Amino acid sequence: MKKLKKPTIYLASDHAGFALKEQLKQYLIHLGYNCKDCGPFTPEPLDDYPDYMIPAAQEVARHPGSRGIFMGGSGQGESIVANKVKGVRAAVYYGGNLEVVRLSRDHNDANVLCLGARFVSEAEAKKAVKLWLETSFSGAIRHKRRLQKIRKFEQAC
């Protein structure tokens, strides 16, 4: 049986998500993923998250099949920035029901997951990331149709 190649994971954070990024990087490497850290490489209390999210999101868009995991205080700003990059579909998780994580892949084929580091524990983040990475896009006609409408809109911009 042929083993499926795991996608490259692009990681990025701001100061609030730095510790979680470092923890998840080790976890993902342990799971056998190739991780590319887009920064920061030290916690910088006055950093600006777009400085890390934009290049990381561009890498995800440039490499079809790759994924991004971005961390910030709430994950909201990181998602807003990531979704500005053509070809990126970012979802946010900041705790609670993991069904939203599964659906972001199953229905929306999200290629970036943004985590709210101030709201999830390391254990919760690991569960969410594992589920997200192991969930495939369903390929259902209605979901493909919706994603095609998004792509068409992106092309027009």
Domains of the chain (ranges; CATH) run 9-156 (3.40.1400.10)
Q: How far is CA 145 from the centre of its chain?
A: 22
93, containing H or E segment: strand 90-93
Respond yes or no: is residue 78 known to be catalytic.
yes
Decide if 30 is catalytic.
Answer: no
- How distant is the alpha carbon of residue 150 from its chain centre? 18
Indicate whether 1 pLDDT > 60.
Answer: no
Condensed to tens digits (0 to 9), the pLDDT of residues 78-112 reads 999 999 999 999 999 999 999 999 999 999 999 99
- In angstroms, the CA 116 to CA 129 distance is 12
Which whole-number Å values give the CA distances from 62 to 57, 66, 71, 127, in the listed order? Answer: 9, 9, 20, 27
The catalytic residue among 78, 124, 134, 154 is 78
Q: Is the pLDDT of residue 2 over 90?
A: no
Give the active site residue among 22, 44, 107, 124. 107
